[in-house]
Amino acid sequence: MKKVLSVAVLILALAFVFCSCGGKNSDSQTETSAHQKVEFTMKDGGSFVVELYPEYAPETCENFINLVNEKFYDGLTFHRVIEGFMAQGGDASGTEKAGMAHTIHGEFSSNGFTQNTLSHERGVISMARTRIPDSASSQFFICLGNPTFLDGNYAAFGRVIEGMETVDGFLKVKRVMGADGELSSPVEPIVIESARVIG
């Protein structure tokens, strides 16, 4: 009788463990689906969607969403595009939006923020900055290659989940030598028509 009871208790315990695991998976799926998404529509008609990951860079994501909601990126451009590296946009200098963005804390490990372990791989979006760690504000870049050497020094905060072909299409625009000494400066502006939170 004791043996039967022991087996019954064991079965119940295992059932609880499996149910608990199922619950965790469900929570994880809910958490993943809760990630906010931003759709960029380009002036030429192309579009792409970025999913944001605040578990890696919460302040960066919040700042980005605030700028999108303020329609900050509408009309701005991708001004620096380097094959195999990245496409950079969001520069408001020389526009009436120049004073709208503020600098934020650099959420990457070399700046003391160790929870950001998102690697700079193809499709990942990250914040551009100067040599000053806490100088990022509105400019961001999307990885066209796998520049993992940037890991720990720049705040990666999301990923392109739809329309990466649109971002790749930026490379089809003729480029000339930029101030960075690279073939990076588009001859025809690559204009963001709009950026909107879609979920």
* pTM of structure: 0.83
Strand positions, DSSP E, the chain: 37-42, 47-52, 77-82, 86-89, 124-127, 140-143, 156-162, 175-177, 183-186, 190-197
- 50 near 125, Cβ under 8 Å? yes
Per-residue pLDDT for 27 more than 70? no
pLDDT per residue as tens digits for the range 56-69? 999 999 999 999 99
pLDDT per residue as tens digits for the range 132-141? 999 999 999 9
- CATH of segment(s) 35-197: 2.40.100.10
Per domain, the residue ranges of the chain are 1-33, 35-197
- 65 near 36, Cβ under 8 Å? yes
